[in-house]
Amino acid sequence: ASDLAGGTVALDPNTEYRVLTLTNISVVDRPYDGTTRVELTGAQLDNAVASDLAGGTVALDSSTEYGVMSDKNARANKLLTAQYELTGADQDNYILTLPT
């Protein structure tokens, strides 16, 4: 018979962050208002662990769901920088990316 020893062993499992991609982002059209901020809507997280989404331990912070245009001038097809942040107890296990 063999003897088993109990105790703690320090291991480095090299667990990597899970990469999330935002999908279904839409820009809310608006009239010129002199600002560079635009509302974004419809964003969904792709590739999250289902139980984290269902349990609310990872989600998009809706207060940060907006974009910033390169300038305040009116015209179509402008580039913008999307502003999104994660929230929830498991947010630090994820990296958020935008679609390319």
Write down the pTM of the prediction: 0.72
Q: Please say whether the beta carbons of 18 and 96 come within 8 A.
A: no
- What is the model's pLDDT at position 9? 64
- What is the pLDDT, as a whole number, of residue 37? 93
Residue pLDDT, tens place only, 53-97 = 999 999 999 888 899 999 999 988 888 888 889 999 999 999 998
Amino acid at 62: S
Q: How many CB atoms lie within 10 A of CB 32?
A: 9
Confidence of residue 39 (pLDDT cuts 50, 70, 90): very high
Look at the block and give the residue holding tokens 């703690």: 8
pLDDT band for position 14 (50/70/90)? confident
Is it the case that residue 98 has pLDDT exceeding 90? no
DSSP secondary structure string, 35-93? -SEEEEE--EEES--HHHHHHTSSEE-GGG-EEEESSS---SS--EEEE--EESTTGGG
